[in-house]
């Protein structure tokens, strides 16, 4: 109880000093080519995202393609400068970091990409790739760097005799292990994983997912796990943020959101996943989200999901819902005028609040 | 291991078989002189009106089998085997006859819809092109009418307008709808869908699977669905063939396969999938890598990764024959799961 009351206060506060990472109203717009400067439109890939990630979290960012999840990952990595908003890492603004502070930031912030075939340097050996961050950060001498890289490679399940092998000699799963070793060799505080298992075969996926979880516990890491695969997210994440057209529609504990979501979009996303059990078949033609994601160039007014939402009312077309939590917090918030199951949930929470007061 | 009879695996009588692949062997010659044996004796039957899913990881030979059936194999040679459609072995047929048969009886849907369509041609014209294959005397007016009805059948909004669009003006999901429209345009008897939903988002995947199912019901086509996604298999298939190392290792009814997998690979694959509908404490891991097709292990290809067969002399020396279990499943394994042989017994282990 004590813990949750602290977190409520923290959520209400202006700046969360103890959050490892905090995004404040991040907006990213990509300008498009137009005939005249004044007629140029822009795609708002990320449109007002606030998100917090605590130390030790495995935070999933999920959504369909084009929802802005990778753009957000790039903003977190300071690869992309947000058009508006602030990124605070350990309380320090990304934009205000210069010189050595930036270099220090990159030491604590690492990334693993979807396609290891293109994200690793093909000219370097496996070990060379893993040593590269150490060289750039000028850690130790050549021998120390080599030792550290070897140790890290052993951690991710690669043999010492693979150290000098060329990248082309490895399979996809092994390459992803090398990419993970490269990301972890600097002992970062936060690792952004952008679809790290999506390009792997099913049997290899489980290996890499389990490896990531073991390393997270072993090195006390914080992960931001960007993915479209909600089943993997359910297995690996403790918190989830669901994005739709550049906005977060729902964020909270993974087990809650992925079993009893409040936002109709999350519900639809979950219902669309085919379950590997023929007894749980979705009847053909039933309850599937109709239509496609609208163009982010010209997003719908009001709630961006309303044209596809089966529960949409007239207010949804005009008023954009604010992201809000249920009274009592529980760290679960959503942006919907008519959240699913709210009528059941609110009285329950009211009661528990009453009980707590007594 | 040459003859494989799966006829008892399905409920339908052999007269309903629309496509039979018998003991197919396909090899690819590599530039360095080695041969990749991509398909090593695959046999299956597609019964009328059913959906047969072929599941496997990359390199298991599932797509090569499909391309052989479609007559689209490039770079590889069919070393042995028969592909029987309408009672004729298409591999023995005259090339002109074969093209005619394949063009009118079989249609295909591939993974990447944007590369399956001609980027320089309006989508409506591409559908007309297909229609003309079957009916040379189609009038312009009839063709237009048919295009609009096909486009609206696959859920393309405003078909009169969209028929004049080019593929780049469509999203991936919409392109795949057009590909499906082309596939069903001539009401084929066999529809081969090779990873049809792998490139699209999950909500679009659900729409497309529904669409393929409805197209199948409407045209009466039988479907071969090739996928790596066991969720898609459970959703759409009637029967399942699991492939590993260029062979079918398990074959049977979809409910049987998911409830009582007989091959250790199928069992391990099901255990290694994270689930959205239930909490999984620990994912089972299949150790090691998929086999190198230029250098397949001696004996059972799965043996080095197998929890049951690893280290067993029989598994390490002899390729297991297919056998039909009492349940009706076909399995190629010396020690199928659920057969009551404790892993410690059987034969002398620890090589």
From chain A, pick out residues whose CB is under 8 angstroms from the CB of B238.
none
| Candidate from B213, B237, B274 with C-beta closest to A234 | B274
Alpha-carbon distance A291 to nearest alpha carbon in chain B (angstroms) = 8
pLDDT, tens digit, for every residue of B314-348?
999 999 988 888 777 899 999 998 865 444 444 44
Structural domain contains residue A99:
no
- Read off the pTM: 0.86
Number of domains in chain A: 1
The beta strands (E) that lie in A206-266 are given as 222-227, 239-244, 247-253
pLDDT of residue B7 exceeding 60:
no
Mean pLDDT of B128-148: 90
Structural domain contains residue A340:
yes
pLDDT of residue B194 exceeding 80:
yes
pLDDT score at B217: 87
Q: Which portions of chain A are predicted below pLDDT 50? A: 1-16, 343-358
ipTM: 0.83
Name the B residues in 166-185 with CB < 8 Å from any A CB. 171, 173-174
Structural domain contains residue A344:
yes
The H or E element that residue A79 is part of is none
- Which is nearest to A270 in space by CA: A253, A285, A257, A283? A257
Mean pLDDT of B146-160: 91
Helix B123-134 / helix B95-105 crossing angle, nearest 10 deg: 120
What is the percentage of chain A residues whose pLDDT exceeds 70?
A: 88
pLDDT score at A17: 52
Structural domain contains residue A137:
no
Mean pLDDT of chain B: 87
Cross-strand pairs, A60:
A225, A240
pLDDT score at B10: 41
Name the B residues in 298-337 with CB < 8 Å from any A CB. 305
Structural domain contains residue A276:
yes
pLDDT score at B6: 46
Q: Could you give the CA distance from residue A313 to residue A298 in angstroms, rounded to a whole number?
A: 21
pLDDT band at B265 (very low <50, low <70, confident <90, very high): very high
Q: Could you give the CA distance from residue A249 to residue B276 in angstroms, rounded to a whole number?
A: 19
Structural domain contains residue A303:
yes
| Candidate from A210, A279, A289 with C-beta closest to B285 | A210
Q: Distances from the Cα of A328 to the Cαs of A239, A344, A355, B174, in angstroms?
A: 18, 14, 12, 44
DSSP for A252-287?
Answer: EEHHHHTTS-SSHHHHHHHHHSPPS-GGGPPPTTSS
pLDDT score at B77: 92
Structural domain contains residue A243:
yes
DSSP state of B290: P
- Which is nearest to B109 in space by CA: B39, B13, B199? B199
**What CATH number does residue A210 fall under?**
3.40.50.300
pLDDT score at A328: 62
The H or E element that residue A220 is part of is none
Structural domain contains residue A109:
no
pLDDT score at B340: 52
Structure-token pair, residue B311:
């280290």
pLDDT, tens digit, for every residue of A23-62?
999 999 998 877 777 777 788 899 999 999 999 999 999 9
Alpha-carbon distance B215 to nearest alpha carbon in chain A (angstroms) = 12
Name the B residues in 238-277 with CB < 8 Å from any A CB. 254-255, 258, 268-270, 272-277
pLDDT score at A347: 37
Task: For residue A213, give its domain range.
Answer: 9-90+189-357
Tell me whether residues B230 and A207 touch, CB distance under 8 A.
no
pLDDT, tens digit, for every residue of B107-125?
999 888 888 999 999 999 9
Helix B172-184 / helix B140-153 crossing angle, nearest 10 deg: 130
């Amino acid at each position: 109880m004590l813990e949750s009351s602290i977190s409520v206060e923290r959520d209400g506060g202006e700046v969360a000093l103890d959050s490892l990472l905090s995004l404040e109203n991040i907006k990213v717009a990509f300008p498009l080519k137009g005939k005249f400067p004044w007629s140029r439109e822009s795609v708002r890939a990320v449109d007002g995202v606030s998100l917090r990630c605590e130390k030790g979290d495995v935070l999933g960012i999920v959504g369909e393609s084009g929802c802005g999840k990778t753009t957000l990952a790039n903003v977190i990595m300071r690869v992309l400068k947000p058009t508006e908003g602030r990124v605070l890492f350990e309380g320090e603004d990304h934009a205000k970091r210069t010189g050595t502070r930036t270099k220090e930031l990159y030491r604590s912030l690492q990334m693993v990409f979807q396609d290891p075939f293109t994200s690793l340097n093909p000219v370097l050996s496996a070990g060379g790739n893993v040593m590269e961050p150490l060289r750039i950060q000028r850690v130790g001498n050549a021998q120390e760097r080599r030792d550290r890289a070897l140790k890290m490679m052993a951690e991710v399940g690669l043999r010492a005799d693979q150290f000098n092998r060329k990248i082309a000699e490895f399979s996809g799963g092994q390459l992803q292990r090398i990419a993970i070793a490269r990301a972890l060799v600097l002992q970062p505080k936060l690792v952004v994983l952008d679809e790290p298992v999506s390009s792997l075969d099913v049997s290899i996926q489980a290996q890499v997912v389990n490896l990531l979880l073991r390393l997270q516990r072993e090195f006390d890491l914080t992960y931001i796990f960007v993915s479209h695969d909600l089943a993997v997210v359910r297995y690996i994440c403790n918190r989830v943020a669901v994005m739709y057209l550049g906005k977060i529609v729902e964020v909270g504990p993974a087990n809650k959101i992925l079993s009893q979501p409040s936002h109709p979009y999350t519900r639809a996303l979950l219902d669309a996943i085919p379950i590997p059990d023929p007894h749980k078949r979705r009847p053909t033609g039933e309850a599937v989200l109709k239509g496609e994601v609208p163009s982010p160039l010209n997003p719908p007014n009001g709630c961006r999901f309303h044209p596809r939402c089966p529960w949409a009312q007239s207010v949804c077309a005009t008023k954009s819902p604010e992201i809000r939590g249920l009274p009592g917090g529980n760290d679960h918030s959503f942006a919907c005028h008519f959240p699913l199951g709210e009528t059941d949930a609110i009285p329950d929470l009211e009661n528990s609040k009453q009980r707590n007061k007594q | 291991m040459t003859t494989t009879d799966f006829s008892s695996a399905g409920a339908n009588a052999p007269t309903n078989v629309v496509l039979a692949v018998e003991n197919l062997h396909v090899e690819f010659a590599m530039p360095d002189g080695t041969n990749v044996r991509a398909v090593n004796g695959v046999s299956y039957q597609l019964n009328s009106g059913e959906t047969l899913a072929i599941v496997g990881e990359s390199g298991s030979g599932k797509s090569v089998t499909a391309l052989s059936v479609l007559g689209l194999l490039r770079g590889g040679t069919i070393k042995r085997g028969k592909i029987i459609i309408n009672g004729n072995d298409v591999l023995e047929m005259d090339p002109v006859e074969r093209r005619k048969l394949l063009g009118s009886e079989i249609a295909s849907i591939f993974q990447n819809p944007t590369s399956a369509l001609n980027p320089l041609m309006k989508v409506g014209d591409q559908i007309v092109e297909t229609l003309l294959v079957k009916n040379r005397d189609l009038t312009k007016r009839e063709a237009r009418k048919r295009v609009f009805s096909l486009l609206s059948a696959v859920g393309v909004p405003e078909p009169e307008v969209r028929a004049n669009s080019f593929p780049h003006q469509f999203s991936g999901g919409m392109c795949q709808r057009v590909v499906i429209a082309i596939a069903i345009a001539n009401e084929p008897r066999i529809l081969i869908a090779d990873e049809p939903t792998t490139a699209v988002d999950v909500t679009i995947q659900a729409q497309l699977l529904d669409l393929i199912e409805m197209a199948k019901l409407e045209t009466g086509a039988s479907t071969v669905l090739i996928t790596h996604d066991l969720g898609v298999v459970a959703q759409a298939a009637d029967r399942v063939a699991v492939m590993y190392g260029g062979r079918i290792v398990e074959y049977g009814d979809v409910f049987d396969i998911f409830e009582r997998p007989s091959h250790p690979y199928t069992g391990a694959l099901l255990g290694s999938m994270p689930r959205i509908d239930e909490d999984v404490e620990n994912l089972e891991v299949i150790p090691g890598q998929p086999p190198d097709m230029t250098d397949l292990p001696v004996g059972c290809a799965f043996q080095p990764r197998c929890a049951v067969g690893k280290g067993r002399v029989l598994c390490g020396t002899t390729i297991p024959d297919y056998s039909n279990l009492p349940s009706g499943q076909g399995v190629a394994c010396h020690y199928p799961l659920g057969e009551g042989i404790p892993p410690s017994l059987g034969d002398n282990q620890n090589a």
